Chain A
Amino acid sequence: MADTPFHLFGIRHHGPGCARSLLRALETLQPDCILVEGPPDGEAALPLLTAPGMTPPVALLIYNPENAGEAVFYPFATFSPEWNALQYGLAQAIPTRFMDLPITHQFALRQMDQEAVPETEPPVHTAADAEGTEGQTYSDPLDWLGRAAGYEDGESWWNHMVEERGDSLELFAAIREAMSSVRQEAPPRRLNAAEARREDLREAHMRRCMRQAQKEGFSRIAVICGAWHISALAELPTAKADNDLLKGLPKTRVEATWVPWSYRNLSYASGYGAGVRAPGWYEHLWQSADGSRGIQWLARAAALFREEGLDCSSAHIIEASRLADTLAALHERPQAGLEELFEALRSVVCMGEDTPLRLIEQRLIVGERLGSTPENAPAVPLARDLAAQQKSLRLKPEALRKTLDLDLRQANDLARSHLLHRLVLLDIDWGRLSRTGRSTKGSFHEIWELQWEPELALKVIEASRWGNSVAEAATALTVDKARNAQALAVLSELVDKVLLADLSAAMAAVTQALDSMAAVISDVSQILAAIPALAKVARYGNVRQTDTALVEHLLQTLVPRAAIGLPGACSALDDDAAGQMRDTITAAHQALRLLQADGIVDIWHAALTQLAQSPQCHSLLGGLASRLLFDAQHAALDETALRMSLALSTGNDPAPAAAWLEGFLNKSGMVLLHDNQLWSLVDDWLSSLSAEHFDHELPLLRRAFSAFTPPERRQLGERAQSPATPARAATGSDWDARRATLPVPLLHQLLGIPT
């Protein structure tokens, strides 16, 4: 390579071993120009790297200011080779450039692809779109190499071969050779045409940047890129071919900024394609001295174990370290790696159990570090959008907890409520709705507890992968939740939340998911449980000026489904299940009564009638249905009396009869006080019970009556004391007045009253 000015360094993103070797190599080489695989659009933000207040992990964010949904994150950690190369370049004040295909083209190309193939799904915003796809194509060849060498996967092989070993300058030649042969031998990657074209364009652009640098007269150019691309950059074909390829690429407006990043977002688990499994471990590798690496790490683990209240003495660590070293020897490795250390901890400290390890795994392996950016760095679009809304709605984030009373009839308060509800959906718990205040003040009041905590800044970033404005992110997240929801009740609650947050865009997706789940679900009680939330929405939607047509339509399909299944669901229940079902039915009934939608209510009443008449149904629910129908004036008094006498007839078992009565009374005795016929039916039934049966039923009845209010019970008692009175009043018209007057003179005489 002596005759070319280019020195290629194939690295792995976020590899500490690579970073260390790279720094050594750069110091030896003393380059006069550094080209790094990264978006040239972000070059303007590079000077901020050395600004005070910049601590990794941070990410370079490139986004389209017009359509905030289009955004790409390039995360950097302190152990990332790119980060170190950039720092080196800036410190030495040599030209340091990014050489990847500019994001401005990539966005525009993607738009073209999407227009060509219209997607049915709404765009999903992933944290690392560009990096993500690359990560996949990039990790596969590593897996091949790893497996060929007898490792579990590519990452452990790479860790052992590159990241965990001492510095070695031949490293890059070796990487280059390995990757070139993999690239030649590997079966063609499964990329679609657009992805393949993008790969070609990217490599063409990298070559063009290299030629440009050469033309400018630099003689020692360090080129730092993902190991996969090395062989494509080793030979520079004629400039013409690349220029043809890159000619006339479309453009979009983009902006670049730095955002704080966290190790959690850097790990695989966050869905970041080029992520690493153990950022915490990598940081440890980067910082720790070579020889005592394992012991330091075990000491950290011990501290974490102690924090969790688990015994972990120095003796434990000594033994763990010995075991890890022996394991490493058994695996023929010069030093214990993550795998061996973990194994040793499991065996020595955790008694072979995995559970205690999980307690500390997150903190130990992934790490909790959160980066920070200089104050003058621009913020994430979502944070910016949030800040703008906070300003316009006059809601200042404060660390002190305070209470906010919103009157939803006022436009500003309504908008505030929408914002807070959206943030709740996004899991940014700035405000908590306190429910107590709400019920007393009617449906147009909301009382919130507001408290801004610093961690929320991170949650905003996390949420920013869903979208770049609050409304957009909340919509995308809700759609995703609706797709993955498992229970109907979750979905119906989601509907409620979506309406509260005024996310009309998400409404269709959520209701659709709800509808299709209701279609396949066989558990009627779940459907019934979903009804109150929906009915509430349909009823109070107007206050919030939201469109409730969708929900009403949904109720039109849900209620008949519930009604059809209701009699079946109420038969063959035991007492506990019947009790639960009673609450569910009551809640649904109350919700539907509020709704006052005729079509639905008729179907519901028909189902209740069936329930009241069905002999298979649990008598508690039969009684409840009779009562609900009676209250709704859907069943006449005669009909109800007939049902009661049927249920309480002497031929019946007393236990179901008592259950029926409990269901019928439904925690209120007023109906008995005001209706003589029903009163006498109950009275007759009670008197007809045998002594033994009466003893048996007494606890049941007592339970039924205990739910009544004290005045009700008193009135019932008073009435029961004079049982004849009502009966006489009711039959008064049948008296023969002529015969009744006959004894009057005698009575006069007896009482000594003058006529």
Chain B
Amino acid sequence: MTQTLRQHAEQQFAEELEALQKADTRERPENWAMSPWAVANYLLGCKLDNGFEISPKYIGSRRIIETAVATLATDRALLLFGVPGTAKSWVSEHLAAAISGDSTMLIQGTAGTSEEQLRYGWNYAQLLSKGPSRDALVPSPLMRAMELGKTARVEELTRIPADVQDTLITILSEKSLPVPELGIEAQAVRGFNVIATANNRDKGINELSSALKRRFNTVILPVPANEAEEVAIVTKRVGELGRALQLPGEPPALAEVRRVVQIFRELRNGQTEDGKTRLKSPSSTLSTAEAISVLNSGMAMAGHFGDGVLRASDVAASLVGAIIKDPVQDAVVWREYQETVMKERSDWKDLYRACRDQE
């Protein structure tokens, strides 16, 4: 086990990437590590002809991934849209890892992201001693990706202030980045592309200008379509994270995963899975990612303070934290859910009691 807390996708799945590249005989766009077909299979999982198993990275609709890969193959920029926790960054990281073998050309978008972070900055010591020169220039990840013909990633695009966002327009349409101070320009090498992610909950913060929008193909990542899909996602991720983070507990039993997923789905959809009872929805997003983290912390609890087996009481503590974001309204919603839904289910007695004990 390495000392790294979390490995990059291309490190963690190096074996799979290598196997796919070997088996891949189809046409590759220039500077791509593998063909679009292989990229889609890397994300969705498959079994190669030589029996090697590629694990699925994204569980969900095939057409979403295919559209995303096809977009990148036409050297159009890709914008992944979705509510928080729908695996946008996850998909973007794996796409970059599969296409360029490098998912580290990353710009994290925040309200404080400046133009220098998108284009280039200066090493001031060099600048003062040698004057403006190529050596004094500090290229941004985006600029490096252009020069190397790799995939750059921009996280949380809509959090970047609108005037800074517009820097991307030239890069995306002209595929070049002028450096007027030196009288040169960085021209993108084939294979360069941008994957941006944005949260469509806070569209209002810095909505993309239509000029910028037009330069992206948009793919919306939906919340899992059905319970089975969501259970599969959560089980898989919890298992992987437990391994990566060296959590002491046993991987959780499927029953416990299913219960957490069901609670999340029911509260999110505002009705029980059998469609018989209407429920209030809390203000929290209740994304799949949160379900994963609830189970993870439950496992940690079980491992450090319990007997290593994930039980209702271990889950209950983090459930409350995930669901109640607004102490007044959400508490009512959660309480109502316990009393009207959980209490009625005979095999949920332990969880109900554990949740009541929390208060």
Chain A residues in the interface with B (C-beta under 8 A): 311, 313, 315-316, 319, 322-323, 326-327, 329-331, 343-344, 346-348, 350-353
Contacts and interface: CB of A to CB of B under 8 A. Distances in A.
B213 A330 contact: no
Given A322-B76, A323-B74, A353-B220, A343 B63 contact: yes
A323 B214 contact: no
B316 interface: no
B66 interface: yes
B73 interface: yes
Contacts of A346: 67
Nearest to B36: A330
B107 to A, nearest CB: 22
B67 A311 contact: no
Given A315-B214, A351-B81, 14 more contacts: A313-B214, A323-B74, A323-B217, A326-B36, A327-B66, A327-B70, A329-B70, A330-B36, A330-B37, A330-B40, A343-B63, A344-B67, A348-B217, A348-B218
Contact of B218 (A311, A315, A330, A351): A351
B219 A347 contact: yes
A347 B66 contact: no
Counting chain A CB atoms within 10 Å of each CB, the highest count among B69, B71, B214, B217 belongs to B217
Given A330-B36, A352-B219, A319 B70 contact: no
B20 to A, nearest CB: 15
B124 to A, nearest CB: 41
Contacts of A347: 67, 71, 217-219
A331 B81 CA distance: 24
A350 to B, nearest CB: 8
B25 interface: no
A343 B67 contact: yes
A326 B213 contact: no
B346 interface: no
Contacts of B217: 319, 323, 347-348
19 contacts: A311-B210, A313-B214, A315-B214, A323-B70, A323-B71, A323-B74, A323-B217, A326-B36, A326-B73, A327-B67, A329-B36, A330-B40, A330-B70, A343-B63, A348-B218, A350-B218, A351-B213, A352-B81, A352-B219
Given A311-B210, A330-B69, A351-B81, A322 B74 contact: yes
Q: Dominant SS at the B interface?
A: helix
Contacts of B220: 352-353
Interface string B36-64: 11001000000000000000000000010
B214 A316 contact: yes
A285 to B, nearest CB: 22
Contacts of B71: 323, 326, 347
Contacts, number: 56
A319 B76 contact: yes
Interface in B163-205: none
A305 to B, nearest CB: 14
Contacts of A319: 74, 76, 217
Counting chain A CB atoms within 10 Å of each CB, the highest count among B36, B67, B70, B219 belongs to B70
A311 to B, nearest CB: 7
Contacts of A348: 76, 217-218
Contacts of B213: 351
A327 B64 CA distance: 11
Contacts of A322: 74, 76
Counting chain B CB atoms within 10 Å of each CB, the highest count among A330, A346, A353 belongs to A330
Interface string B323-340: 000000000000000000
B58 to A, nearest CB: 16
Interface string B60-104: 000100110111011010010100000000000000000000000
A316 B213 CA distance: 11
Given A319-B76, A347-B217, A352-B219, A326 B81 contact: no
Contacts of A315: 214
Contact of B67 (A313, A323, A350, A353): A323
Contacts of B81: 351-352
A330 B219 contact: no
A344 B63 CA distance: 11
Q: 8 tightest A-B contacts by CB?
A: A352-B220, A352-B218, A326-B70, A327-B70, A351-B218, A347-B217, A322-B74, A326-B74
A331 B26 CA distance: 13
Nearest to B27: A329
Contacts of A313: 214
Nearest to B80: A352
Nearest to A319: B76
A310 B297 CA distance: 46
Contacts of A330: 36-37, 40, 66, 69-70, 73
Contacts of B74: 319, 322-323, 326
Nearest to A313: B214
A321 to B, nearest CB: 10
